[in-house]
Structure 1
Amino acid sequence: MWNPWRENLKDTPREVLNWRLWFGVFVFGLMGAARGIDEGLIGTTAELDPFIRKFGLDDPHKSKHQKAELLSNITSMVQMGSILGALIAFVLTDKIGRLWATRQLCLVWVAGISIFLASSATGSIGMIYAGRFIAGVGIGQTTVVAPTYLAETAPRAIRGLCVCAFAGAVYIGIMLAYFASWGSSIHISSKTDTQWLVPNSMHLMFAGIIFTLSFFARESPRWLIKVGRHEEAAKNLSLLRQLPEDHPYVASEIIDINAQLDREREATMGTSWLGPVRELFATKANIYRIQLSIMSQLLSQWSGANSITIYAPQYFEMMGTTGQREKLFATAIFGLVKFISSILCAFVLIDWIGRKRALTSGITLQLFSMLYMAIFLFIDHNVKDTEEQSPSQKRAAMGAIVMIYFSGFGWALGWNSIQYLLNSEIYPLRLRALGGSVAMTFHFVNQYGNSKAVPLMFLGMTHGGTMLFFSAVTAIGLGWVWFFLPETTGKSLEAMDEMFNLPWHLIGRKGAALTKGHGGVADAIDAGHEKAVAAQLEDAQASTTVHPNQKV
């Protein structure tokens, strides 16, 4: 049977791939649906007649610019709240742990959505803004908490798959949201607010499921070691791996985590609570990491794919798809395409062909699609208002619609997976939550700017000009990936330091090759050097002081 992970898994004990691992992947991966549900619902909700009437999206007394401002305010308010959520996530994640941070964010998420849904009784646009902002505070935390937990608990051979479960769940949420809006437009009367309230109740369902299941998950062993709970960490890691605590695979992982923490403590001894923040900007290696985080978010969010996700019905209308139900159906199929492609990427490509190749392939496909749409909109910019099209116009318009689907495939294969996976891998344990928080803050700042700007860009730059702008950013991203992005496939989290200590101009192009075989005890075991490592394990276990009550 064909198995793309066979080479990666050849040194991984079979017991490691057990139900506890997959349960954790399911629970924390499912948090990706928080963002997906919102992105899929808000754009399609704004196409439903009861919502349009209730909140004045078609008010004849408003200008086109005012309507665009109102729509952008409604859609972008979750991103605004998510900026705050991402900023506070690293404090909560490190202070109360990955599990309690998850439960807390679910409660905030539910509180915000409850206010949003209650606005149907009052028609208050202020409640829409407030509810969506509060929900955003919870949703924004998911992008730090979930990838951090998944990266810390996954075996390195399939770490890409496990973290990409979060990215894949984004499209589960998007797909279900699109179909829910389409279904409600068919089966629920457009004369009642129920038409938009029912699909938006999905937020409450998913938050409840994640909150409940979190009580059956195990806390991250790496976080437990960080806060000095060594015995509990060893027990949890043993349970997650389904191996005895003294098994070389488990023991080597514990030793590598302790060794990295010892180095970090020594480097930051005597520093205040601001120590991690200073450390993040104190070395060339960490500055390079920050550059990767910031640029990956900047280039991915302004490549245009996220605006297509949020404003998908409007994009299909640009390409000639008219009628509310037709637009919502085309949008639902778009969600299905993105879901399938994200699953393909997570389960096959990320750990098989590598992060860099997957991202390069996705960006190339996205660039080709965006350029086609830009050229089409420049040539036939009145397509949505044309009642009778020539055969060539119809074929060109159909090609543009297909390119929307191709762009979604390229995004799911490339940027969508990497923007979460990269930031969960590259930072040392002491800085992992902080680095992820910085990355996700930039993520939501740019997403907010994008979702806020796109309706106005359509007016000021025209549709074709907007797509050309996105194409240019996508092309820049392709060059940046080739030069700056290192290949991290197969490397342990504790072995990344070796690569980032190389000269900056070598990290992206040659870092993986130059540090092949370098790293900690676990890397040596994976390389098949069991005998050579046996003495190292014994010495390390004897020299590593384990204090159950030790605090970092």
Structure 2
Amino acid sequence: MGAKDSMIARTRRSMAAQPRAIFSWYLWVCAALMALPGTCKGFDEGNIARVIVNKDFLSKFGLDTLSPAALADAKGWITAIATAGAVFGCLSVVLIVDRIGRLNALRVATVFYGAGVLGQALSNGNLSALYASRFIGGFGIGGTTVVSPMFLAEIAPQSVRGMIIMMYAACQQLGVVFGFWVMYGVHLHFPAAQQWWTATLFQFVPLGVWILGTFLVPESPRYFLLRGDYEKASINLVRLRRLPADHPLVQGELDSAAAQIAEERSVKTGSGYFAIWAEVFATASNRRRFILLFVCHVLGQWSGANAITQYSPTILGYFGITGDSASLVATGCYAVVKFLSAVATGAFLVDFVGRRRSLILGISLQLATLSYLAIYLGVTTGRSSASIDADGNALRASQGAIAAIYIHACGWSIGWFSMPYLLTSEVFPTRIRSHCVSFMMALHWAMNFGNSRSTSSFLVAGNRYGAFVFFAGICVVSLVFVFYCMPETAGRSLEGMDKLFAVPLHKIHTIAYPSDEDLKPEMKSSATGAASMESADDKGTARHRELA
């Protein structure tokens, strides 16, 4: 059986071998509630893309009197300042997520996000207050992008881990849908002077749902194992899996995670911030994971999709979509396409086709569409919309460019949008996970900041097409990198990925795909589990509990 067919077949066998109870409605409700914070990132992106072209907003903040170059610079700062805040939010949340728990850390991040949203709506023409509020809101958004995917990875059964983490990615795109269509709704039903701040305040609707959700779902069992509380970890895993505490799957999952944490603690010294980072770079396998995800986030953020989303009204205007209503509908449909693509990726691709193949497919679609857009804009630079409409061939090419924008959205959702979140949450061992996830999401936001800040000027300096040539080049580099260095993590346990990173990154393609043995769930009998814990205690669990 070829690798292409066996991945789907093996995943199905792995799911069939596990008790049906672990895929209960309760698990999916918990996952949905903790994925919902993803909407804050998407809602902010979709909302601000429309706000910065709203005439009343521009007038209120005195931006309508600026020169085109100065206006482009101001729009870049307004859009990007939230991403700058997110960088610091990601780096800060690591200080509390292992101390107060995943759920409490999410609540803290949500408070900052809510404060930022309220400040933006009440800034009342004060540009400094707007910048400060967007920075504070971005700080909270950054925290949620660390905590939510990490929590979802830690509660998910290994056979559907990709699907569950992808719920977070889908919620990000759902937030973009909210951002665009809420703005369209207020455009139709609210006075012009109220539109931008009313749409901004709508972000409190999903916020209210997930903050209540944090009181309805159990804390991550792996958090309690990290703190040395095996009993609470067992209680919460029993709630999530809907199986008795002595079930082999529950015992196996708990003991595998606990033994790994204990072994790491027994051979490493210290548990402080700098000791953890020393461990990341001193261990070859951890260093390879770090480099892999570092490159993923850089390439993903500079592949062009965020630029198109955040400046979609401007970019769609290049292809003849002008006017408030037409632009709102077009950008709203663009957001819907991205959301549906993310849902389809989570439901059908990441666990059955795999992360690696999904990435290759998504990047290939991006490359093809970006190349077309660059050629179209290069040929039509300097031509007016009227001259293009009068030329049948040019008009059809323009319509093709609009279709390419939507196809590009599909490729982005399948590939670079989805996979960095998923891989970041699942490849790092529990002991170093929170530190590495927070750094990678800070890097993600730093790259997003650079992208957001530069795109407006880049489009002008590059005569529109130059930016798309650059993005297409990034996609070429991405394909080469993914082919050689990207492993297939679908179906593997969080604690079972070590052998993937026992070889140099450029050789990972030789062992990328899992075997039947790799996809087997961790199961042990109660006696075996107890013996495993005794062994783990001998190696360092006592020290682990003392540190906790």
TM-score normalized by the length of structure 1:
0.93
**Conserved in 2, the CA contact under 8 Å of 1:40 and 1:309?**
yes
Q: Does 1:102 align with 2:99?
A: no
CA distance in 2 between partners of 1:397 and 1:549 (Å):
64
* Cross-structure match for 2:365: 365
Q: After TM superposition, list the pairs within 5 Å mapping 1:509-528 onto structure 2.
A: 509-513=510-514, 517=517, 523=521, 525=523
Q: Which amino acid aligns with 2:49?
A: G
1:189 maps to what in 2? 191
Structure 2 vs 1, CA of residues 483 and 223 (structure 1 numbering), >3 Å: closer, same or farther?
same
Counterpart Cα distance in 2 of 1:50 and 1:357? 46
Partner of 1:161: 163
Aligned to 1:134: 136
2:20 is equivalent to residue 14 of structure 1: yes
Give the corresponding residue for 1:403. Answer: 404
- Aligned residues of 1:373 and 1:400 also touching (Cα < 8 A): yes
Aligned positions of 1:376-415 closer than 5 A: 376-383=376-383, 385-386=385-386, 388-415=389-416
Query: 2:90 touches 2:438 (CA, 8 Å); kept in 1?
Result: yes
* 1:172 corresponding residue in structure 2: 174
Tell me the SS of whatever aligns to 2:463. Answer: helix
Provide the rounded CA distance (Å) in 2 between the counterparts of 1:85 and 1:330: 32
Which sits farther off after the overlay, 74-83 or 379-388? 379-388
| Distance in 2 between residues matched to 1:148 and 1:19, nearest whole Å | 21
Shifted more, 66-75 versus 16-25: the winner is: 16-25
Is residue 121–residue 198 contact of structure 2 (8 Å, CA) maintained in 1? Answer: no
Paired AA for residue 15 in structure 2: L
Per-residue deviation, residues 246-268 of structure 1 (Å, max 9, x unmatched):
00000000110111011110121
Q: 1:406, 1:51 → 2: CA distance? A: 31
> Which residue of structure 1 aligns with residue 29 of structure 2?
23
1:271 and 1:371 map into 2 onto residues whose CA distance is 48
Q: C-alpha deviations, 1:18-47, integer Å up to 9, x for none? A: 122112211111111010000100011112
Q: How far did residue 389 of structure 1 move?
A: 2.5
Match of 1:32 among 15, 19, 38: 38
Structure 1 pair 53–273 and aligned structure 2 pair: CA distance change class (3 A)? closer
SS of 2:123's equivalent in the other structure is: helix
Q: Report 1:375-454 matches (<5 A).
A: 375-383=375-383, 385-386=385-386, 388-454=389-455
Q: Corresponding residue for 2:532?
A: 540
Aligned to 1:111: 115
Give the whole-Å Cα distance in 1 for the aligned partners of 2:271 and 2:132.
39
For the residues of structure 2 that align with 1:360 and 1:511, how far apart are their CA atoms? Answer: 14
Q: 2:78 aligns with which of 74, 77, 86?
A: 74
Change (3 A) 1:9 1:224: same
CA contact (8 A) 1:423 1:439 kept: yes
Alignment check: 8 A CA contact 1:484 1:509 kept: no
Report what 1:288 is aligned to.
Answer: 288
Q: Which residue of 2 aligns with 1:467?
A: 468
Partner Cα distance (1:384, 1:147) in 2: 45
CA deviation after TM superposition for structure 1 residue 474, in Å: 1.1
Provide the rounded CA distance (Å) in 1 between the counterparts of 2:21 and 2:428.
28
Deviation at 1:303, TM superposition (A): 0.5
Q: Deviations over 1:188-224 (max 9, x none)?
A: 232x1x1111211122222222111111110000011
Amino acid at match of 2:505: W
What stretches of structure 1 of length at least 5 have no aligned partner?
Answer: none
User: What TM-score does the superposition give when structure 2 sets the normalisation length?
Assistant: 0.94
Q: Deviations over 1:316-343 (max 9, x none)?
A: 1011111121111100000111111100
- Aligned counterparts of 1:505 and 1:189: Cα–Cα separation in 2: 58
Give the deviation of 1:271 after TM superposition: 5.9
- Residue 341 of structure 2 corresponds to 341
Which residue of structure 1 lines up, in the alignment, with residue 5 of structure 2? none
User: 2:206 — aligned with what?
Assistant: 206
Q: Which moved more, 1:541-550 or 1:129-138?
A: 541-550
SS in 1 for 2:100: helix
Q: Aligned with 2:228: secondary structure?
A: coil
Shift of 1:175: 0.7
User: Which letter maps to 1:90?
Assistant: V
Relative distance call for 1:177 and 1:496 in structure 2 (3 A) is: same
Q: Could you tell me which amino acid in structure 2 is paired with residue 162 of structure 1?
A: I
Equivalent residues of 2:77, 2:453 under 8 A apart: yes
Matched, 1:244 2:236: no
How has the CA–CA distance of structure 1 residues 523 and 6 changed in structure 2, closer, same or farther, with 3 Å as cutoff? closer
Q: CA deviation at 1:150?
A: 0.3
Change (3 A) 1:104 1:453: same
1:223 aligns with 2:223: yes
What letter corresponds to residue 119 of structure 2 in structure 1?
A: I
Output the amino acid matched with 2:123. S
Pairwise CA distance, 1:398: 0.4
User: 2 CA distance for matches of 1:407 and 1:304?
Assistant: 9
Q: Determine the structure 2 residue equivalent to 1:64.
A: 68
**Which residue type is aligned with residue 169 of structure 2?**
A
Q: Which whole-Å CA distance do the structure 1 matches of 2:446 and 2:120 have between them?
A: 22
**Cα 1:542/1:94, change in 2 over 3 Å:** closer
Separation (CA, whole Å) in 2 of partners of 1:173 and 1:503? 38
Deviation at 1:536, TM superposition (A): 4.3
Question: Equivalent residue for 1:86?
Answer: 90
Bigger drift between 18-27 and 228-237 goes to 18-27
Between the aligned partners of 1:344 and 1:273, the Cα distance in structure 2 is 39
The farther-off stretch of 502-511 and 72-81 is 502-511
Measure how far apart 1:229 and its partner are: 1.7
**CA separation of 1:125/1:295 partners in 2, compared to 1, >3 Å: closer, same or farther?**
same
The question of whether the paired residues in 2 share the 8 Å contact of 1:238 and 1:244 is answered with yes
Match of 1:43 in 2: 49
Residues 318 and 384 of structure 1 are in contact (CA less than 8 Å); yes or no, is this contact kept in structure 2? no
Letter aligned with residue 24 of structure 1: C
Show the 5 A alignment for 1:251-330. 251-270=251-270, 272-330=272-330
The answer to whether the Cα contact below 8 Å between 1:482 and 1:509 also exists between their aligned partners in 2 is: no
Alpha-carbon spacing, 1:360–1:254, altered in 2? closer, same or farther (3 Å)? same
1:269 match: secondary structure: coil
Residues of 2 paired with 1:19 and 1:211: CA distance? 20
Aligned length: 535
Q: Residue type matched to 1:16 in 2? A: I
Counterpart of 2:428 in 1: which secondary structure?
coil
How has the CA–CA distance of structure 1 residues 478 and 503 changed in structure 2, closer, same or farther, with 3 Å as cutoff? closer
279-288 vs 465-474, greater mean Cα deviation: 279-288
Q: 1:271 to 1:125 in 2, by over 3 A?
A: closer
Secondary structure of the equivalent of 1:274?
A: helix
- Percentage identity across aligned positions? 33
